[in-house]
Amino acid sequence: MSLTLSKTKLSFAIAIAISSLYFPFSNAATSSSGIDSSTGYAKNYKPTGDEMILNFDKVSWNTVKVDSASELTSALYNASAGDKIVIASGTYRGNFKLKTGGTQNKPIWIVGESTSNMPYLNGEDQNNGTTLAIDGEDAGGISYIYIENIKVNSARTGIAVDQADYVTIDNVEVYNVGQSAIHLRDGSEYNIVKNSYIHDTGLYNVKYGEGVYIGSDYTKWPGGSSSSEYDPAVDYAQILNNKIGPNVTAEHIDIKEGSSYAYIIGNTFDAKGMNDILNGGLSFIDFKGNYAEAAYNIGDQNNNEYFENAFEINEKSSGWGSYNDIHNNTVTFDDKYYDDSSVSVTITLPLGSGGKANNAKTNDDIKPTHWVVKNNVDTTNTVSNNTRIKEDKDKMYTGF
């Protein structure tokens, strides 16, 4: 977390420089083009005035140091505005939950003590649970939480944010999870995921192995067919300058119907290990919501024979999948893996459900097409200035 505005600029510049070394397909100039270096927000995001304070030096922190799972559980349970929960290096086993929020000028800061030896939060069970839950349901909604410098793994979901606004997840690593890595859900708005590394998801069920999952399927909306009910309006999410992949089995970012104004800027996608051939989750971003912007992202198929299209626009619920803007992205395809005929695939996939693991051998026919953008919805979506490597003008865009 940047402690002053000037440090914000310096921290962001360092993050970009490091990404060029750490992220194999990153490009500093490209990834920074759509991000405001003075705030760290997407350039086209319009601040509300209610954003979390940027200058953390102005906060009189109540520092709570923890070095055991029980101490972390207690610190989260008793947290209040202005608490800085500092987690020592080490492994913390269990499922951890924060149910209270901070204020605009006195957030709650959950931070690993060391950036070089970040603490591990280990959920211990890839079939069940969430390793770190930010859950405002009991409080009627919470806000102003900053999570930084931790590693999260080994639960069904890595980090879930429910009924919580203005939450920032910065420089975290989420991996070895049974389904999705980070899920922004249940009416949570104005949340940010940035400078983070997400890999090795879907180990319990490949169909739900998304890197970042924004919103909820329409069946889980109030009145839907599912027993779970979530507010679908997960709006104004910013997904900035992350590395997603390898071995993210489904979409790297899934923007669900009911969600609006997501900003997907400056990320690096690696398709190696993506294998959700059953659910069609073989694209970097699936746009099912409205008014999202995806720009200055870099993606590489990385010899994945199953990979389909870089970006897809789909309508799962009437009126959604519209007014999205996809521009200035660069995508590398291995075109040897597609032709004019279907390919029969036999693959053994984890397809657990109901808390029970299940590996199943699956036969399916796939026909990769390798479009940069495949628009299955309407004419309201805008596509411009994307780059395809290897260049193929006939494979840039299809749709309305």
The domain limits of the chain are 7-50+137-398
The pLDDT assigned to 211 comes to 98
The pLDDT assigned to 24 comes to 37
Phi/psi region, residue 195 (left: phi>0; alpha: psi -120 to 50; beta: rest), is left
The pLDDT assigned to 334 comes to 93
CA dihedral 174→23→325→277, nearest 10 degrees, is -60
The pLDDT assigned to 28 comes to 37
Which tokens in the block code for residue 91? 């492994």
Which CATH number, 3.90.1640, 2.30.29, 2.160.20, 3.90.550, labels domain 7-50+137-398?
2.160.20
Going by DSSP bridges, is the β-strand pair 359-366/343-350 parallel, antiparallel, or unpaired?
antiparallel
The pLDDT assigned to 2 comes to 37
Handedness of CA 87, 108, 57, 152 (dihedral sign): positive
List, in sequence order, every beta strand (DSSP E) within 67-139: 83-87, 91-93, 96-98, 108-112, 120-122, 130-135
Work out the burial of residue 361: count CB atoms within 10 Å of its CB; fewer than 13 is exposed, 13-18 middle, 19 or more buried. exposed
Q: What is the pLDDT along the chain (400 residues), one digit of tens a residue?
A: 333 333 333 343 434 443 433 333 333 334 578 999 999 999 999 999 999 999 999 999 999 999 999 999 999 999 999 999 999 999 999 999 999 999 999 999 999 999 999 999 999 999 999 999 999 999 999 999 999 999 999 999 999 999 999 999 999 999 999 999 999 999 999 999 999 999 999 999 999 999 999 999 999 999 888 888 999 999 999 999 999 999 999 999 999 999 999 999 999 999 999 999 988 889 999 999 999 999 999 999 999 999 999 999 999 999 999 999 999 999 999 988 887 678 788 999 999 998 899 999 988 888 889 999 999 999 999 999 999 999 999 999 999 8
